[in-house]
Structure 1
Amino acid sequence: MKRSALISLIPAFLATASPVPQASKIAGLCGAAEVDELVGYGAKSTGGSGDTVTVTSCSELTSALSNGGVIHIDGQLTGCDIMNVKSDTTILGVGSSSGLTDSGFRIKKADNVIIRNLAMKNPPKEMDLIDIETSTNIWIDHNEFSAEGITGDKDFYDGLLDAKRGSDFLTFSWNKFSDHWKASLIGHSDSNGDQDTGKLHVTYHHNYWSNVNSRAPSIRFGTAHIYSSCYEDLPISGVNSRMSAQVLVESTAFVNVKRPIVTNLDSKEDGFAIEKDNLFENSEAQITQEKGFVPPYDYATDSADCICDYLKEKAGTGVIN
């Protein structure tokens, strides 16, 4: 087990060293960060308002989504297909097992959406569990996303949580991602730079990733801050920075992860990455170029030494009220 940076500079003459930014943060052992607090690039998200509508069927959910506001899902709903989410909407699961199976959400040309405490499994064929397109101020928190594992056709399902086409100001926090080929894609194409450059700002914090093949996340063009997360058993890649994307990864544990942080995989142009205060166990980063940035918000990190056990308890459903 190592806490130092295990970095392969490939090749060394391509690397451009930059000082690690000193972000405005509070560091501590596990428990420093508030479990029920919105921070990060998506911090302006407020979601829906007004009376709460509780739904127990796909038809009720589809109807409620057409009006926005505050929606509670009570129970596990199956076969709802892909449902559109409009601006100013909050979706919350009741208890620890409410959510969707063989269904998904599309957030397209929307602003101010919150989705929390849902157990979501198996999107419709070739679709995502949550697809965010050309949308802003989104908070995805304390959910559990999964599929059937990393066997069979890797393209039968698409992503668990994807964002693309100039989406911006996103926070994905305290979620569990497991048993899937392609977990989370930020920026869908190498040729979409005109729309994506200068956007796709996303914070991933306190997420638990297990038995995911790749894309944890994979990011093109954008800016990702990833901290206090745990990665276990990823056979292809973890954080994949591509097409001049910038990522800062800190206070995160990688256990049995091939290419836990990589900048020269899958695209015609490398990305950038800075890593600090991470733990690598049977995992070696592959960073070809570095460029730092300072996240424009205050945040608290939990230590990589204890983060995996902590997130197994505190991430996912059934934690928040």
Structure 2
Amino acid sequence: MALAAASGVVLSVPEASAAAGGATGYATQNGGTTGGAGGQTVRATTGTEIHAALCNRASSTTPIIIEVEGTINHGNTAKVSGDSCNTAAGVIELKQISNVTLVGVGSGAVFDQLGIHIREARNIIIRNVTVKNVKKSGSPTSNGGDAIGMERNVRNVWVDHSTLEASGGESEGYDGLFDMKDNTQYVTLSYSILRNSGRGGLIGSSESDVSNGYVTFHHNLYENIDSRAPLLRGGIAHLYNNHYVHLNESGINSRAGARAKVDNNYFEDSKDVLGTFYTDAAGYWQVSGNTFDNVTWSSPGEDNNPAGPNPQSNTSVTIPYAYGLDATACVPDIVERTAGAGKGLQESNGSC
């Protein structure tokens, strides 16, 4: 159910919030993303219970909605076996499965030092969860240090109203917050917070991993991120109505033939927020309606091609789905009120 709210948002009431709203962006393409819609609803308070819910289905494609409440950590996340699952201890493993929704309910769902790994899977929805401090080195480790990681033939994933955060960069043991590689396509990240990390996320693990793409990022907050907001290697990405604050080294890094459509984003107190960085393998961008508030730009070099200080389009990207753009000046306020877990699945209503 949705209620009108002040300051340009619509408030959704999400106690069983898997049903509130629908997928947006590229996740609506390729047959759409519905997650576990129409399936059984199961409540889980541990990682082991999440795995058991997957394993107790009739098949690996049987739709299921898993409502998660409480803190999920290494101590309560064990491997569970079954014909409809392929799980592992110390990580939420969504592997070789489809038609699943994970949604935080009640007092909230926090995945503490425990990542979510999506592999050889399709039609996955993750909403209203917090994933924090996932490490690839030190102790404990999980998911290669990614908060949410997708790899190997993944299709149609929608992550919405979630908070992904670390407490430092690679030297502190962390990797990316939202990574896609090895043929991952048709993904949307919406109304989410990514913060306090050396790396926001990537599309493509190397300059030769260019089979990924068709990814939408909208109404997200990137805050205190060193780089990769995101890093794009090949493929197409659509980034609109995001708020970027304190991108410390670089932001949207389009490389290796990637094409980014960058619309009505608000960049603030940041450096080199758009361009091709750390490589001579050029990427491209189409820009419109963005605000650059106290953004500094480095000088061009052999492995450094910032789009600014006056960014201009150098490609054209056709978007196949309908979307509405909020006025750029409204973006900081709207994103502050709507993005992240525990915000009642609030969404913009197009005004501020």
Q: What TM-score does the superposition give when structure 2 sets the normalisation length?
A: 0.76
Three-state SS of the structure 2 residue aligned to 1:237 is coil
Query: 1:318 maps to which residue?
Result: 342
Q: Which residue of the other structure, out of 118, 121, 144, is the alignment partner of 2:129?
A: 118
Equivalent position of 1:147 in the other structure: 166
SS at match of 1:296: coil
Whole-angstrom distance in 2 between the partners of 1:148 and 1:260: 21
Q: Aligned partners of 1:33 and 1:97: how far apart in 2? A: 20
- Mean Cα displacement is larger for which, 74-83 or 227-236? 74-83
Find the aligned partners of 2:178 and 2:266 in 1 and give their Cα distance: 21
Over 6 Å off, 4+ runs: 32-35
Q: Which shows bigger deviation, 123-132 or 306-315? A: 123-132
Which amino acid in 2 is paired with 1:246?
Answer: R
Q: 1:132 to 1:34 in 2, by over 3 A?
A: farther
Cα deviation for residue 38 of structure 1 reads 2.2
Question: Which residue, out of 237, 262, 268, partners 1:224?
Answer: 237
CA deviations on 1:69-106 (whole Å, 9 max, x unpaired) are: 11011112122422211211000001463120111111
Q: Which amino acid aligns with 1:281?
A: D
Sort the Cα spacing of 1:33 and 1:173 in 2 relative to 1 into closer, same or farther, 3 A. farther
Q: Secondary structure at the match of 1:41?
A: helix
Task: Give distance in 1, aligned partners of 2:217 and 2:177.
Answer: 14
Partner of 1:24: none
Q: Which residue of 2 aligns with 1:162?
A: 179
Instruction: Show the 5 A alignment for 1:223-242.
Output: 223-242=236-255
Equivalence map 1:1-321=2 (5 Å) = 31=8, 36-43=21-28, 44-48=32-36, 49-66=38-55, 67=57, 69-79=64-74, 80=77, 81-85=90-94, 86-95=97-106, 97-125=108-136, 126-133=144-151, 134-150=153-169, 153=171, 156-193=173-210, 196=211, 199-263=212-276, 265-284=277-296, 286-287=306-307, 290-320=314-344
- How much has 1:241 moved relative to structure 2? 0.3
Q: Which has the higher contact order (CA 8 A, sep 6+)?
A: 1
Partner Cα distance (2:296, 2:9) in 1: 27
Q: Alpha carbon RMSD of aligned pairs, Å?
A: 2.1
Please give the alpha-carbon distance, in whole angstroms, between the structure 1 residues aligned to 2:319 and 2:214.
10
Task: Please report the TM-score for the alignment, with normalisation by the length of structure 1.
Answer: 0.83
For structure 2, the 5+ residue unaligned runs are 1-6, 13-20, 58-62, 78-89, 137-143, 298-305, 346-352
* Alpha-carbon separation, structure 1, partners of 2:175 and 2:159: 18
Q: Following the alignment from structure 2 to structure 1, what is the Cα–Cα distance between the partners of residues 254 and 10?
A: 26
> How far did 1:284 drift?
4.6
For residues 228 and 75 of structure 1, the distance between their equivalents in structure 2, rounded to whole angstroms, comes to 31
SS at match of 2:25: coil
Alpha-carbon deviations, 1:180-231, whole Å to 9, x = none?
Answer: 11111111111224xx1xx411000000111111111111011000000100
Q: Percent identity?
A: 33
Change in 2 beyond 3 A, CA 1:261/1:169: same
Question: Which shifted more, 56-65 or 280-289?
Answer: 280-289
